[in-house]
Amino acid sequence: MIKIELEGKRHIMEKQHLHIVEAVEAGSIAEELEITAGDVLLEINGNKIEDIFDYQYHIQDEYIEVLIRKPSGEEWLLEIDKDYDEDLGICFENGLMDDYRSCHNKCIFCFIDQMPKGMRETLYFKDDDSRLSFLQGNYVTLTNMSDDDISRIIKYNLSPINVSFQTTNPELRCQMLNNRFAGEALEKAWRLAKAGITMNGQIVLCKGVNDKEELERSIRDLSRYLPNLESVSVVPVGLSKYRDGLYPLEPFTKEDAKAVLATIHKWQDRLYPEYGLHFIHASDEWYILAQEELPEEARYDGYLQLENGVGMIRLLLDEFAQALAEAKEDRQRIAAMGEHSCSIATGKLAYPFVKQMADALMTEFETVTIHIYPIRNDFFGELITVSGLLTGQDLKAQLMGQDLGERLLLPQNVLKSGESVFLDDMTVKELEKALQVPVDIVKSSGKDFIDAILYSNN
């Protein structure tokens, strides 16, 4: 690698389009070349960088030239020999390296429209950015993408792209998204599929709108995108209590859930022999509402849709069973730790399964006491049962005066990513102070569940 210093050359750029280095990974190429926080990326191989798509594409080669501007104004041209596809180890202040694209649809099922006023501003931002789909797995409607955007995805071979379909009926899609161009956007998905771009899909099911015959149509149409469209999840619409003036939607019943599952299982059985993929998947809520057993692990095709709650509980239970078997081999050490107690708070959806695991632990290890509390979502309404939408104030109100043991355990999805704050801006420290008990945040795996209960006091 060669570092060449250039004097006098200046680039005039608008501040919002500066690609400013926020941090450099230890041991990376960037650290070796003395790239530091505050430096500005100007070009790669003589090409201006518009966003993360350009950046990821241009750093792939084994030899690249990177132009950096230091805070002093001095510019360095860095000649880099590296492995193909090896990352430089640079983290930028703006992860997209460009402005975020917001959603201009007025979807009848949008949860952001169902939130009360007065929450932090970032919670009201509706993203519809294909770059976030590639980087973070967000789902996009494709209505915010131009033909040039599609061409760039194909050119850079960016996969996977996650698409929120809702329906393949063009007229119905326009109605559901309240966007007259929403039907045309389906052609973009077909273009991506024909170009070999890997996709995953999502259908937010609304009772009396895109279910029954419309769901059959959507599955049939989307199955033609196989194998490049690897999976499609079907999730029930989330309904908060703040729906005044919004499209009238009803919650699904047990009988509705059974019908949805019957449709999905029929198509899985039809498609799997040909493609080796079950393709269409029901989120865990459908099985719980229908009071049917969760499918076995093999039915989830490698858990392609975990972020949509598809197979999350099955994976947790299987991981727990394996970790429990390992913990039994450590019975002496656990017994030597003496008696200890803790409590777990979770959403009503997961409560039966969390209780099942806690009971199994207490049966195997008599020195452990676990108190389980299902938290009713008073903030958003009782129809919201997932733990990821629990607030600090609901936890505080319903846990005050309860036996919480020595520690309170909470799943990590109750917090804003990377921060110790709940949706309602209450912090973990504030909750600890109110409940007078330490609060531990537990990762989502079955092993983490067991470790947090059995070994945290060790």
Percent of the chain with pLDDT over 70: 91
CB 406 within 8 A of CB 457: yes
Give backbone dihedrals phi and psi of 258, rounded to 5 degrees, phi first: -60, -40
Q: Retrieve residue 215's tokens.
A: 């769901």
Given a cut of 70, is residue 264 above it in pLDDT?
Answer: yes
**Which helix (DSSP H) or strand (DSSP E) does residue 30 occupy?**
helix 29-32
Q: What per-residue confidence (pLDDT) applies to 335?
A: 85
Given a cut of 50, is residue 71 above it in pLDDT?
Answer: yes
CB 161 within 8 A of CB 198: yes
Lowest mean pLDDT among 48-52, 64-68, 218-222, 241-245: 48-52
Which strands make up the sheet holding 368-375, listed edge to edge? 368-375, 340-347, 408-411, 439-442
Backbone dihedral region of 38: left (phi > 0), alpha (psi from -120 to 50 degrees) or beta? left
Q: Say how far apart CA 69 and CA 143 lie, in whole Å.
A: 36
Mean pLDDT of 6-31: 69
Name beta bridge partners: 164.
202
Q: What is the pLDDT of residues 372-416, one digit of tens each?
A: 999 999 999 999 999 999 999 999 999 999 999 999 999 999 997
Mean pLDDT of 56-76: 92
Mean pLDDT of 158-172: 93
Burial class (CB in 10 A: 0-12, 13-18, 19+), 146: exposed
Q: Say how far apart CA 258 and CA 268 lie, in whole Å.
A: 15
Q: What per-residue confidence (pLDDT) applies to 446?
A: 94
Mean pLDDT of 117-139: 62
Which strands make up the sheet holding 280-282, listed edge to edge? 139-140, 161-164, 199-205, 229-236, 280-282
Mean pLDDT of 203-212: 98
| One-letter amino acid for residue 337 of the chain | M
Strands 40-44 and 47-48: antiparallel
Q: Say how far apart CA 163 and CA 341 lie, in whole Å.
A: 44
Mean pLDDT of 193-222: 97
Q: What per-residue confidence (pLDDT) applies to 152?
A: 85
- The CA radius of gyration of the chain, in Å to the nearest whole number, is 25
User: Sorting pLDDT into bands at 50, 70 and 90, what band is 126?
Assistant: low
Given a cut of 70, is residue 5 above it in pLDDT?
Answer: no
Q: Say how far apart CA 334 and CA 91 lie, in whole Å.
A: 42
Give backbone dihedrals phi and psi of 447, rounded to 5 degrees, phi first: -65, -40
Q: What per-residue confidence (pLDDT) applies to 297?
A: 96
Q: Say how far apart CA 126 and CA 424 lie, in whole Å.
A: 18
User: Sorting pLDDT into bands at 50, 70 and 90, what band is 175?
Assistant: very high
Contacts 24+ apart (CB under 8 A), 395-400: 395/345, 395/422, 395/431, 396/426, 396/431, 396/434, 396/435, 398/345, 398/373, 399/343, 399/345, 399/373, 399/375, 399/435, 400/434, 400/435
Lowest mean pLDDT among 62-71, 123-132, 358-367, 379-388: 123-132
Q: What is the pLDDT of residues 314-332, one digit of tens each?
A: 999 999 999 999 999 988 8
Lowest mean pLDDT among 8-22, 238-252, 334-348: 8-22
Q: Say how far apart CA 442 and CA 411 lie, in whole Å.
A: 5
Nearest to 63 by CA among 43, 48, 83: 83
**Which helix (DSSP H) or strand (DSSP E) does residue 161 occupy?**
strand 161-164
| Structural domains of the chain, ranges and CATH numbers in brackets | 2-92 (2.30.42.10), 112-308 (3.80.30.10), 315-454 (3.40.50)
Q: How many CB atoms lie within 10 A of CB 17?
A: 14
User: Sorting pLDDT into bands at 50, 70 and 90, what band is 140?
Assistant: confident
Q: What is the pLDDT of residues 176-191, one digit of tens each?
A: 999 999 999 899 999 9
Look at the block and give the residue holding tokens 């913990």. Answer: 327
Going 189 to 194 to 199 to 201, the CA torsion angle's sign is: positive
Given a cut of 50, is residue 9 above it in pLDDT?
Answer: no
Q: What is the pLDDT of residues 446-455, one digit of tens each?
A: 999 999 999 8
Lowest mean pLDDT among 108-112, 201-205, 383-387, 437-441: 108-112
Look at the block and give the residue holding tokens 């949008």. Answer: 110
Q: Say how far apart CA 46 and CA 210 lie, in whole Å.
A: 49
Nearest to 28 by CA among 76, 87, 73: 87
Q: What angle do CA 307, 309, 315 make, to 5 degrees?
A: 95
Q: Retrieve residue 19's tokens.
A: 């690609």
Q: Say how far apart CA 153 and CA 155 lie, in whole Å.
A: 6
102 vs 406, more confident: 406
Contacts 24+ apart (CB under 8 A), 125-131: 125/100, 126/102, 127/100, 127/101, 127/102, 127/103, 128/101, 128/102, 128/103, 128/104, 129/96, 129/100, 129/101, 130/161, 131/51, 131/52, 131/53, 131/96, 131/98
Distances (CA, A) of 340 to 45, 410, 450: 60, 17, 14
Given a cut of 90, is residue 53 above it in pLDDT?
Answer: no
Q: Say how far apart CA 3 and CA 20 lie, in whole Å.
A: 19
Mean pLDDT of 124-146: 65
Given a cut of 70, is residue 220 above it in pLDDT?
Answer: yes
Mean pLDDT of 439-448: 93
Q: Say how far apart CA 191 and CA 199 lie, in whole Å.
A: 11
User: Sorting pLDDT into bands at 50, 70 and 90, what band is 159?
Assistant: confident
Mean pLDDT of 95-117: 79
What is the three-class DSSP state of 156? helix
Q: Say how far apart CA 183 and CA 172 lie, in whole Å.
A: 8
Q: What per-residue confidence (pLDDT) applies to 2?
A: 35
Q: What per-residue confidence (pLDDT) applies to 11?
A: 37
